[in-house]
Chain A
Amino acid sequence: MDGIFLQQMVNGLTLGSVYGLIAIGYTMVYGIIGMINFAHGDVYMISAYLAAIGLAVLSFFGVESFPFLILGTLIFTIVVTGVYGFVIERVAYKPLRNSTRLAPLISAIGISLILQNYAQIAQGPRQQGVPTLLEGAMRFDVGSGFVQITYTKIFILIAAFVGMGVLTYIIKYTKLGRMCRATQQDRKMASILGINTDRVISYVFVIGAAMAALAGVLITMNYGTFDFFAGFVIGIKAFTAAVLGGIGSLPGAMLGGLILGVAESQFSGLINSDYKDVFSFGLLVVILIFRPQGLLGRPLVAKV
């Protein structure tokens, strides 16, 4: 029992850290332009394909050592996914900046469908896979059972936390971060102070896409398989994580991701894995009943 609990804790934190990375994209975009970017899950899906392509290309050129392989793949995936994020915002959302709130939402659903179909046509409808990059695991005996942590999981945890750490630093302490926060808190005032808010919004989309790309590489490493529809479920989970933590709040997205990942893993390990999604969304409902603004969100106060 102890063994299973600890095992699922590790699994949950790994999964949750990746949910958190994707949730960051939802929460930052919501924070800055007040829209739910329904295409974000599909940006993650694209990044999974890009990760596989990156790995294939690097292997083709004879790169075999893990550090070079993963670093090369990460850089390639993050840069190209970032470009996707930038272009999507320019094409689908920016022209609708001053229209009704629903317009960019519909446009996002359109982009989501376009990306799914594009991946399906370009890469085929079948599941794709990548080989295991990091073999081996650590094993600990705990009470009557044992806990096994694969090196892949350890790598994922470290990479995800480094990603979140770097992002938190950028947002809190750099000029770019201050510009993002200013644009989020009062876009009109930000522009009066000389900030090109359109450009800041672009940056936010690129940052969100980059975080999704990191998640894409990490999840692809862990599970090995994905298809053109992979962005849907994980997108909804990450969105749930963002709402759970308080949408608009960066630490909220990370915390929400971790809580959701752990809750889901514990439920499937200790009770029943068929109903884990029911449990996750049930948890969301319960938390929203008692804290409608999410765990770290601010209550909405109507402005006079």
Chain B
Amino acid sequence: MSKPILELKEIDVYYGPIQALKKVSMHIDEGETVSLIGSNGAGKSTLLMSIFGQPRAASGQIIYQGTDITHKSSHYIASNGIAQSPEGRRVFPDMSVEENLMMGTIPIGDKHASEDMQRMFEMFPRLKERRNQRAMTMSGGEQQMLAIARALMSRPKLLLLDEPSLGLAPIIVKQIFATLRELAQTGMTIFLVEQNANHALKLSDRAYVMVNGEIRLTGTGKELLTNEEVRNAYLGGH
């Protein structure tokens, strides 16, 4: 058994009076690829953001590498090796591609910056073509690649990805998942939030299914792919 890199213990999260997450418990082991699937509004993105304390869990515990990070600041959590490509990509619109990538190096300093940037350009050649272009002028797919690359620039121990396939052309979705598969094979721990359950489950070692802020089901990627309930709800019954 490998040890968990991240563990959520019964966390409750509220947006004002509305409870977004209810007693959510889960864990991600080192080197695993884990995905969280569920429909729109189930609380998947909230879960990812609450790992960074935005919003903070009202009760429960978040343990990262044996340390309780439930009440730590976002920048502390980022500087300790968790990186996120968030919902809506959130690239810095007025910055060039290179500048956006440089923002990813804050936790580790810029000593590996040029070497890592080259790696990103090999992984996403489109970004190289647009290296001096402002992010706001790029297409959704390019911004998605940029958001993932920016997260990778910090050489994270744990990579959180929020809907990398959202709103993208199928061919780009395929490309992005191929890249994720390569990353997983290098041993990186990946936690993936997806509506595109088919792609996500095929990629993942394990997965959780979230419904209305609660974890409804869990199992290996293969198990969930063949699970009747999952197939009907998230895989369009095919």
What's the least CB distance linking B136 to chain A, in Å? 10
Once the chains bind, are A193 and B150 in contact (CB under 8 Å)? yes
15 A-B pairs within 8 Å (CB atoms) are namely: A175-B110, A178-B99, A179-B106, A181-B92, A181-B95, A189-B86, A189-B90, A192-B78, A193-B83, A193-B107, A193-B150, A193-B154, A194-B154, A195-B103, A196-B73
Residue from B75, B84, B86, B150 in contact with A195 in the complex, judged by beta carbons closer than 8 Å: B75
Once the chains bind, are B90 and A195 in contact (CB under 8 Å)? no
The CB with the most chain B CB atoms within 10 A, among A186, A191, A192, A196, is that of A192
B74 contacts A by Cβ under 8 Å: yes
- Contact string against A for B residues 80-93, beta-carbon threshold 8 Å, 1 for contact and 0 otherwise: 00011010001011
What's the least CB distance linking A93 to chain B, in Å? 18
B141 contacts A by Cβ under 8 Å: no
- Contact string against B for A residues 18-40, beta-carbon threshold 8 Å, 1 for contact and 0 otherwise: 00000000000000000000000
What's the least CB distance linking B149 to chain A, in Å? 13
B223 contacts A by Cβ under 8 Å: no
- Complex CA gap A190/B86 in Å reads 12
A188 contacts B by Cβ under 8 Å: yes
Residue from A185, A186, A192 in contact with B54 in the complex, judged by beta carbons closer than 8 Å: A192
- The main secondary structure of chain B at its interface with chain A is loop
B182 contacts A by Cβ under 8 Å: no
- Complex CA gap A196/B76 in Å reads 8
Within 8 A of B (CB), among A180-232: 181-182, 185-186, 188-197
Once the chains bind, are B86 and A192 in contact (CB under 8 Å)? yes
Residues of A within 8 A of B90 (CB): 186, 188-189
What's the least CB distance linking A38 to chain B, in Å? 27
Residues of B within 8 A of A195 (CB): 75, 103, 106
What's the least CB distance linking B158 to chain A, in Å? 13
Residues of A within 8 A of B79 (CB): 194
What's the least CB distance linking A65 to chain B, in Å? 42
- Complex CA gap A189/B52 in Å reads 10
Task: Assign chain A's interface to a size class.
Answer: 10 to 19
Residue from B75, B93, B154 in contact with A191 in the complex, judged by beta carbons closer than 8 Å: B75
Within 8 A of A (CB), among B63-77: 73-75
B122 contacts A by Cβ under 8 Å: no
What's the least CB distance linking A30 to chain B, in Å? 15
- Which residue from chain A places its CB closest to the CB of B84 in the assembled complex? A192
The CB with the most chain A CB atoms within 10 A, among B73, B74, B86, is that of B74
Residue from B86, B103, B110 in contact with A182 in the complex, judged by beta carbons closer than 8 Å: B103
- Complex CA gap A191/B52 in Å reads 9
Residues of A within 8 A of B107 (CB): 193-194
What's the least CB distance linking A217 to chain B, in Å? 32
Task: Using A189-B86, A191-B78, A193-B103 as known contacts, say yes or no to A182 and B92 having CB atoms under 8 A apart.
Answer: yes
Residues of A within 8 A of B102 (CB): 175, 178
Once the chains bind, are A191 and B92 in contact (CB under 8 Å)? no
Residues of B within 8 A of A175 (CB): 102, 110
Task: Assign chain B's interface to a size class.
Answer: 20 to 34
What's the least CB distance linking B114 to chain A, in Å? 14
What's the least CB distance linking B40 to chain A, in Å? 15
- Which residue from chain B places its CB closest to the CB of A188 in the assembled complex? B54
Once the chains bind, are A185 and B75 in contact (CB under 8 Å)? no
B94 contacts A by Cβ under 8 Å: yes
Once the chains bind, are A193 and B106 in contact (CB under 8 Å)? yes
Once the chains bind, are A194 and B75 in contact (CB under 8 Å)? yes
What's the least CB distance linking A48 to chain B, in Å? 35
- Complex CA gap A17/B120 in Å reads 43
Closest 10 CB pairs of A and B: A194-B78, A191-B74, A194-B107, A194-B106, A189-B90, A194-B79, A185-B92, A196-B75, A194-B75, A191-B75
B38 contacts A by Cβ under 8 Å: no
Residues of A within 8 A of B52 (CB): 191-192
Residue from A179, A185, A193, A197 in contact with B104 in the complex, judged by beta carbons closer than 8 Å: A193
- Which residue from chain B places its CB closest to the CB of A196 in the assembled complex? B75
- Complex CA gap A182/B92 in Å reads 6
Residues of B within 8 A of A194 (CB): 75, 78-79, 106-107, 154
Residues of A within 8 A of B92 (CB): 181-182, 185-186, 189
The CB with the most chain A CB atoms within 10 A, among B54, B75, B79, is that of B75
What's the least CB distance linking A172 to chain B, in Å? 10
Residues of B within 8 A of A192 (CB): 52, 54, 74, 78, 84, 86
- Complex CA gap A194/B94 in Å reads 19
Residues of A within 8 A of B103 (CB): 178, 182, 190, 193, 195
Residues of B within 8 A of A179 (CB): 106
- Contact string against A for B residues 152-168, beta-carbon threshold 8 Å, 1 for contact and 0 otherwise: 00100000000000000
- Complex CA gap A175/B74 in Å reads 19
